[in-house]
Amino acid sequence: MTAPGWSVRLYERAAVEPLIGWGSWLSQAALLALVALYLAAGVFAVLRRTPSPSPRRRRLVGLVAGGLAAALAYGLNLLLKDLFAEVRPCHLHDIVSACPPPDDWSFPSNHTVIAFALAVGLAAAAPRLAWPAVFLAVLAGSARVLAGDHYPHDVLAGAAVGTVLCLAALAVAGSRGPRGADAPARAGPDGGAPIRPGRSPRTRWSR
């Protein structure tokens, strides 16, 4: 696969000294901060006590779905890398960077795939953390260009893969709907007291 011209031009403007040295550090730091934020949200969701278990359960389901989506996105991304086999720009341009091996393809960006999958999962489970999560994901991806390891279109593709797979995982998790005590009650006979799923209406003969 050959990189598009606009992406090459942006890369040549971004991957310059001293930004190359900062780019690798920024990318790793942003991704680690995002993982730490994700884990902290999971611990908070487990320990927090709420009047109703439904919000807590939904938050945990969202975090688990986001984590699984990140793992799945990473695996799929490895297949996409082998499919497109795009050589990393640091092997084609005259820059000094800690470039990965030649057989470690460039398109799409693994760091960005993981970052955006985690960011979307975190935003869905804890909306208050949406902006910090998205900021860290954008920083982790764009810093890969500054480090000289990826073209901009590698990062955009990685963001799309991570986002779409996480949204799909969240949709599957949400499509199962509430169960048991969390399910909405249906009206009882003749408009009587509501009945929870799995419970039979009580009559005066069953008392």
pLDDT band at 182 (very low <50, low <70, confident <90, very high): very low
For residue 175, pLDDT beyond 90: no
CA distance 58 to 10: 41
Name the more confident of 193 and 97.
Answer: 97
pTM higher than the cut 0.75: yes
pLDDT tens column, 55-82: 667 777 778 878 888 888 888 888 988 8
**Helix 152-175 and helix 53-84: axis angle, to 10°?**
140
Residue 202 identity: R
Name the more confident of 108 and 194.
Answer: 108
CA distance 88 to 98: 12
Identify whether the C-beta of residue 114 lies closer than 8 Å to the C-beta of residue 74.
yes
* Dihedrals phi, psi of 201, to nearest 5 degrees: -65, 140
Tell me the two tokens of residue 31.
């991704």
C-alpha dihedral (78, 108, 173, 30), degrees to nearest 10:
110
Q: Which DSSP string corresponds to 121-171? A: HHHHH-GGGHHHHHHHHHHHHHHHHHTTS--HHHHHHHHHHHHHHHHHHHH
The reported pLDDT for the residue numbered 150 is 87
Length of the chain: 207
For residue 192, give the DSSP letter. -
The reported pLDDT for the residue numbered 2 is 82
Average pLDDT taken over every residue of the chain: 78
For residue 152, pLDDT beyond 60: yes
For residue 92, pLDDT beyond 50: yes
The reported pLDDT for the residue numbered 132 is 92
The reported pLDDT for the residue numbered 112 is 93
The Cα-based distances of 126 to 40, 123, 167 in angstroms read: 11, 5, 15
For residue 186, give the DSSP letter. B
CA distance 64 to 70: 10
pLDDT tens column, 98-132: 777 777 788 889 889 999 999 998 888 888 889 99
Q: Which DSSP string corresponds to 74-113? A: HHHHHHHHHHH-PPPGGGTS---S-PPPTTS--SS-HHHH
